């Protein structure tokens, strides 16, 4: 059973998702295998009444896709055959345009409009052959806690995300925001741990996620069990915290989505004001990136944030990368950070014959 929704279609995607998953047993604990969930950045913004951003460069990919599986329907197809030829990557903006966007965020912070804005760039490449082997290779990147491929007619999305947007089990909700990046070297680890800029940027997003979970939590139950822990993803160090809460009775799936989507670490603070800046700054939409991807089982929910994510349509591969901008962010350094995040994804997708 499958539901696909795109921006412009009728209905609230959060409500439609809850109704569909309830109807097909995924939220009732029926003896099914579970359900895959993909939610775009634009659909996430629609859920909270925020600006949707620029049009997606991959309109074949739905803004929300839900697939409910029965045990008998699960397969393990062979993805080890077929030629894959990838053309040159073409960015949607130049490094100088990216730097200009960072400076515009500085201006917005100085005006008092925002405290932080996540700025994301896009690149695409033409391809020939079957993309599935390359997409599955992407999911095997080291540190990809939320890894998988979901596809439909003329599209597929592969995720290798290290970041937990929302985990729910036994009435307890957890989000693990990631903010702060450095090369995965001993020197990079020391630099990340000792950087006032990276820690300040990180704590802003932790505070935002605490506030997000408070909308669905028992009063006084929101906690931060771990703050600014350094984890490794591929060849990068990333700073991660854990924010946890006890959910109020009666909180539904739509309530959870509206509480955490879109993720604070890929928007900024305050969230709605940051989304307005993103819409003004980014010339290309985020598509399935910077949204949510994951699994709903009979007794749990686990959604990753769709960073380190690639999408394919019938002709091109798309990827997105960026970073959070605060008042002391260096424009050139932000361009380099985005390139460092995209590099392992590009390597995983490299072609062969």
Q: Which of 163, 167, 198, 201 is catalytic?
A: 163
Q: Which of 18, 52, 167, 179 is catalytic?
A: 179
93 CB-near residues (< 8 Å, 6+ apart): 101, 121, 122, 283, 284
Strands 116-129 vs 316-325: parallel, antiparallel or unpaired: antiparallel
What is the DSSP secondary-structure string of 250-283?
T--HHHHHHHHPSPGGGTEESHHHHHHHHHHH-S
Lookup result for tokens 């999305």 = 157
E-only strand ranges, the chain: 2-5, 34-39, 64-69, 84-86, 90-91, 116-129, 146-152, 155-161, 164-169, 172-176, 178-183, 223-233, 236-246, 268-269, 292-297, 300-305, 309-312, 316-325
**Rounded-to-integer distance, Cα 321 and Cα 245, Å:** 29
DSSP state of 320: E
CA 266 to chain centre: 7
| CA distance to 20, 42, 228, 307, per residue, from 177 (Å) | 28, 20, 9, 12
| CA distance to 310, 345, 353, per residue, from 349 (Å) | 9, 6, 13
**Rounded-to-integer distance, Cα 153 and Cα 138, Å:** 21
Residue 128 annotated among the catalytic residues of the structure:
no
State whether the Cα torsion 98-100-104-106 is positive or negative: positive
Residue 179 annotated among the catalytic residues of the structure:
yes
Residues forming the active site: 163, 179
């Amino acid at each position: 059973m499958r539901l696909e929704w795109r921006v412009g279609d009728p209905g609230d995607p959060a409500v439609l998702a809850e109704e569909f998953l309830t109807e097909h047993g995924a939220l009732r604990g029926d003896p099914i295998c579970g359900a895959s969930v993909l939610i775009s950045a634009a659909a996430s913004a629609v859920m909270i009444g925020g600006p949707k951003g620029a049009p997606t460069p991959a309109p074949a990919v739905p803004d929300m896709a839900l697939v409910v599986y029965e045990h008998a329907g699960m397969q393990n197809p062979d993805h080890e055959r077929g030629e894959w030829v990838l053309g040159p990557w073409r960015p949607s903006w130049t490094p100088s345009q990216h730097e200009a966007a960072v400076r515009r965020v500085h201006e917005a912070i100085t005006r008092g409009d925002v405290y932080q804005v996540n700025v994301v760039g896009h690149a695409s490449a033409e391809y020939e052959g079957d993309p599935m082997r390359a997409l599955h290779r992407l999911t095997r990147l080291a540190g990809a806690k939320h890894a998988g491929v979901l596809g439909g007619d003329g599209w597929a999305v592969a995720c290798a995300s290290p970041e937990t947007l929302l985990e729910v089990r036994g009435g307890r909700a957890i989000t693990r925001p990631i903010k702060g990046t450095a090369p995965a070297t001993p020197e990079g680890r020391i630099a990340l741990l000792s950087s006032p800029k990276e820690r300040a940027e990180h704590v802003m997003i932790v505070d935002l996620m605490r506030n997000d979970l408070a909308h669905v939590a028992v009063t006084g139950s929101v906690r931060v069990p771990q703050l600014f822990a350094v984890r490794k993803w591929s060849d990068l160090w990333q700073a991660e915290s854990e924010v946890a809460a006890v959910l109020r009775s009666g909180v539904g799936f739509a309530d959870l989505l509206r509480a955490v989507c879109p993720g604070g670490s890929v928007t900024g603070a305050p969230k709605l004001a940051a989304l307005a800046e993103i819409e003004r700054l980014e010339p290309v939409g985020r598509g399935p990136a910077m949204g949510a991807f994951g699994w709903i089982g009979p007794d749990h929910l686990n959604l990753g944030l769709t960073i380190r994510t690639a999408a394919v349509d019938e002709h091109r591969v798309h990827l997105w990368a960026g970073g959070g901008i605060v008042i002391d962010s260096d424009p050139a350094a932000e361009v380099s950070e985005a390139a460092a995040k995209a590099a392992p994804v590009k390597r995983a997708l490299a072609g062969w014959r």
